[in-house]
């Protein structure tokens, strides 16, 4: 398929590479132009304006936050102005439920199609084309872009007809991961202060009840205290907890763990954690225990 790809951060670059590997015809755009170089070497066509990435069957956006997606979609010569009738905007960014709802309506009004297809996985998983894709939108539209989704992910979960459902699922997933980070952080602070070898402890956990990627990945980062470079930066994690809470407010669902996580991220950021991986939240319990 002929697709545009907008947003070549760590995740986006890996996803675009996967599309090229799968044989798609890919036009890439990034605000900082130099980030397209590597992909152009691999066969991508560089676009100097967003509109130039909008000539094909679909455009994928993989951007940092609501503001970036908003300006990309609604700006002069943005997606709404540039996509042809029937073309599909595949939004893989982790955005608010509210913006997803708005994009659904506005693309429909413009005769275009919109699906939300956020992904789970860190940069290395993206580069391997092994992401988990959570897609929501009209069944027909999703079917039409299946070759694209198959290229970026190991598996696609079609979760609902309304695109915004996929965004809610993605936010809830990031909330679950953040809960793993915090709970591991507290447990590791406890056993560590109790004199137990933290590495061995983690090995025990992850070879028994907690034998899954999330505990392995984040447990290792917390035990090693290695939060730079960030695979997923703390301000992004904070943003996602805030968007989770915003969705929970609209639905009137009190989420005490999420509230607590919000305060944790705020504490991390207030102490200069902007450049750290979000797993640095897992060190706050140790810090509060006087053993940072």
Q: Does 77 sit near a second copy (CB under 8 A)?
A: no
Q: Retrieve residue 24's tokens.
A: 């798609």
Among 20, 98, 127, 159, interactor with a second copy by CB under 8 A: 159
Reduce the DSSP state of residue 6 to 3 states and report it.
Answer: strand
Among 26, 244, 278, 283, interactor with a second copy by CB under 8 A: 244
Among 263, 276, 279, 282, interactor with a second copy by CB under 8 A: 263
Residues 103-122 that bind a second copy (CB under 8 A): 120-121
Q: Retrieve residue 163's tokens.
A: 């695109």
Q: What angle do CA 281, 13, 75 make, to 5 degrees?
A: 90
Q: Measured from the CB of residue 290, what is the shortest distance to a second copy in angstroms?
A: 4
Active-site residue, selected from the candidate residues 41, 164, 170, 291:
170
- Separation in Å, CA 141 to CA 97, 138, 146, 163: 20, 5, 9, 11
Is 170 among the catalytic positions? yes
Do residues 161 and 137 touch, judged by C-beta distance below 8 A?
A: yes
Closest by Cα among 40, 66, 42, 120 to 242: 66
* Binding track, positions 186-215, relative to a second copy; x by CB under 8 A: xx-xxx-xxxxx--xx--xx-xxxxxxxxx
Q: Does 272 sit near a second copy (CB under 8 A)?
A: yes
Q: Does 169 sit near a second copy (CB under 8 A)?
A: yes
Q: Does 42 sit near a second copy (CB under 8 A)?
A: no
Number of C-beta neighbours around residue 204 at 10 A:
13
Which among 83-91, 110-118, 184-192, 221-229 is the span making contact with a second copy, rule CB under 8 A? 184-192
Reduce the DSSP state of residue 229 to 3 states and report it.
Answer: coil
Q: Which residues are catalytic?
A: 170
């Amino acid at each position: 398929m002929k697709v545009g790809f907008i947003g070549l951060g760590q995740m986006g670059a890996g996803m675009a590479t996967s599309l090229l590997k799968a044989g798609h015809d890919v036009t890439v755009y990034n605000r900082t132009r130099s980030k397209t170089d590597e992909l152009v070497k691999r066969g991508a066509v560089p676009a100097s304006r967003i509109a130039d990435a909008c000539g094909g069957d679909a455009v994928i956006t993989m951007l940092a936050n609501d503001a970036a997606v908003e300006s990309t979609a609604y700006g002069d010569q943005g997606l709404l102005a540039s996509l042809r009738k029937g073309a599909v905007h595949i939004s893989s960014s982790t955005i608010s439920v509210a913006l997803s709802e708005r994009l659904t309506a506005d693309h429909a009004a413009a005769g275009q199609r919109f699906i939300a297809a956020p992904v789970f996985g860190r940069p290395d998983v993206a580069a391997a084309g092994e992401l988990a894709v959570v897609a929501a939108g009209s069944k027909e539209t999703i079917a039409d872009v299946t070759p694209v989704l198959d290229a970026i992910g190991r598996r696609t979960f079609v979760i609902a007809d309304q695109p915004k459902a996929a965004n809610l699922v993605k936010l809830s997933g990031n909330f679950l991961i953040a809960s793993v980070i915090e709970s591991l952080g507290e447990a590791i602070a406890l056993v560590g202060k109790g004199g137990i070898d933290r590495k061995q402890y983690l090995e025990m956990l992850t070879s028994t009840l907690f034998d899954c990627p999330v505990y392995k990945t984040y447990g290792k980062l917390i035990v090693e205290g290695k939060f730079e470079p960030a695979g997923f930066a703390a301000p992004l994690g904070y943003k996602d907890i805030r968007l989770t809470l915003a969705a929970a407010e609209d639905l009137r669902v009190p989420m005490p763990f999420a509230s607590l996580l919000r305060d944790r991220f705020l504490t991390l950021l207030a102490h200069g954690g902007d450049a750290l991986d979000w797993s640095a939240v897992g060190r706050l319990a140790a810090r509060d225990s006087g053993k940072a």
